[in-house]
Structure 1
Amino acid sequence: MKAFAQVFACLFCIALAGVSVAQDAASSTLTDAEQAFVDQMTESVLVGQFSVDGRSDRAPKPERYSIQSVTKTSDDNWIVQARITYGKYDLPVPVPVQVIWAGDTPVLQVTDLKIPLMGEGFTARVMFYKDRYAGSWYHGKVGGHMWGSIERQSPDEGSKTPESESSESDE
């Protein structure tokens, strides 16, 4: 279960990234709200916590998602270009997502998403407002909540691993 939560955290980050070539082509057609979303998420890090339903005896676990970019491809369809660092894997991955708007607030959604090397059946709904995010996630029959802040990515962000981040935060 712990491994799943770490994988999901990395996968969510992927869901928040985009392809910069498509971004350049689509940027002229973005609304003000969409452009603000792109600006906020490009080279960002989601830093927060997640919970697992039915595990109220355990404290929420830290999560961290590095996002390189988000790119609108058409209508509500976007690509989130994220970096997954999990186990022996450390690679950039484009993740197709839908972004639905609740007024001026973007809500990212994926349903039964399959990510090569990581698995399938990932579902999430995550809302972004100002410098915060919150949402719910599912992987098969397991689910929970996630929440935290949106920060600028540091220059060395891509070189950190989940293990080194955990040990740094424990000190």
Structure 2
Amino acid sequence: MKWFPGVFVLLILTAFHADVQTCIANEAAEDAKKTTAEPREQRIANYLTGAKFIGHFTVDGATAKDLKPEHYTISKCEKLPTGSMYRLTVRIRYGNIDSEVPIDLKIVWAENTPVISVESLTIPGLGTFATRVVIHQGRYAGTWQHDEKGGHLFGRIETASERESNDTDSEDVVVFEEDFEDGLDAWEILDPDSWKQSTKNGNTTFEITARYGKYKPPVRSPLHVALIKDLQLSDFDITFKVHSTLDTGNHRDCCVFFAYQDDHHFYYVHLGARPDPNSGQIMIVNEASRRNLTNNETPTPWDNRWHVVRLVRNSQSGLIAIYFDDMQTPHIQVTDKTFTTGRIGIGSFDDMNEFDDIVVRKRK
């Protein structure tokens, strides 16, 4: 859910303190090693430089069950000469925003616990903000206020050194993100009349609105296909949230498309409720009606909740692995090298779903 732009700044103001506590927790050990202890203000500044913050926020009165992540990177942190003031240079990336912003703020301390307190900070054109945030053991939690709106915020932190040692961050590059707040321009929809941008409880999703529409594939294959424009990959990882909005029985499903070359040549995963040769399998369309590449017997546990789906593709080894809620153990997997590259998309064979928070990472 996109909120006022000032909220993102406010989150940055509060989120950065998560790592401060970890730094201060090591103060005694550092002092024991040094004859002259480095001032904690400088240690904080050094520790925060290059850190990445991952958090969430809620809005009072809105549904909080499907929180959207907010990611911020602190390029630099430095102590200012005046009192308890610090200057953070923060990179903000959200929607069409991608810029570095210097922010001056004050930290106060309750013994070794940092607390951020912003009272009636007015930013021209954005509004008036206030916040109270307490930091403890690498986590932060507090409240925010933007004019008449407010809520809670919380999150965790990854330091620069932690990110460098993280294989996922170092090997995978995010090449596409979508939360559907800014329209559907990034998508080619094969049957536009059966899809729509939908907003419920302040959150925008991409929704299939009818089981059957105008699109008639040339061979037996899914009816609802939405493809990402201008993106073709061989090795990638896609994750997204999906909500099945209608119980249609054994073949209740959603689909993930990849290596899509045209309507006669592509792979897709059919996450069907009850497996059979045409349901709950990894499929291929190759100049003929869809054919199963797997003999999966594990049901897909659809219900009325949101679920998380992840697909991993390695064209060199031929690996195709699909995950459903459990991101550690594949729900279905197979090895096949028929198609090595192509487009990526989401949809359904003939069911109704809504999608949100799509992230595609290119694997090196």
TM-score by length of 2: 0.36
Task: Give the alignment's Cα RMSD to 1 decimal.
Answer: 3.5
How many residue pairs get aligned? The number is 155
Q: Does 1:152 align with 2:159?
A: yes
- Maintained 8 Å contact 1:14/1:83: no
Q: Which residue matches 2:150?
A: 143
Q: Which residue matches 2:328?
A: none
Q: Which residue matches 1:83?
A: 91
Q: Which residue matches 1:164?
A: 177
**Pairwise CA distance, 1:152:** 2.0
Q: Which residue matches 2:118?
A: 110
Distance of aligned partners of 1:59 and 1:164 in 2 relative to their CA distance in 1, 3 Å threshold: closer
Distance of aligned partners of 1:34 and 1:7 in 2 relative to their CA distance in 1, 3 Å threshold: same
Q: Which amino acid aligns with 1:164?
A: E
Aligned ranges 1:3-152 → 2 under 5 Å: 3-4=2-3, 8-13=7-12, 16=16, 32-56=39-63, 58-73=65-80, 74-115=82-123, 119-152=126-159
**Pairwise CA distance, 1:80:** 1.7
**Pairwise CA distance, 1:71:** 1.9
Q: Which amino acid aligns with 1:90?
A: D
**1:76, 1:123 → 2: CA distance?**
18
**2:95, 2:156 → 1: CA distance?**
25
Q: Which amino acid aligns with 1:111?
A: E
**2:178, 2:118 → 1: CA distance?**
26
Greater relative contact order: 1 or 2 (C-alpha under 8 angstroms, separation 6 or more)?
1
**Pairwise CA distance, 1:169:** 5.0
SS at 1:37 equivalent:
helix
> Tell me, which stretches of 5 or more residues in structure 2 are unaligned?
18-36, 181-237, 241-309, 311-364
> Tell me, which stretches of 5 or more residues in structure 1 are unaligned?
18-29
TM-score by length of 1: 0.70
Distance of aligned partners of 1:84 and 1:104 in 2 relative to their CA distance in 1, 3 Å threshold: same
SS at 2:119 equivalent:
strand
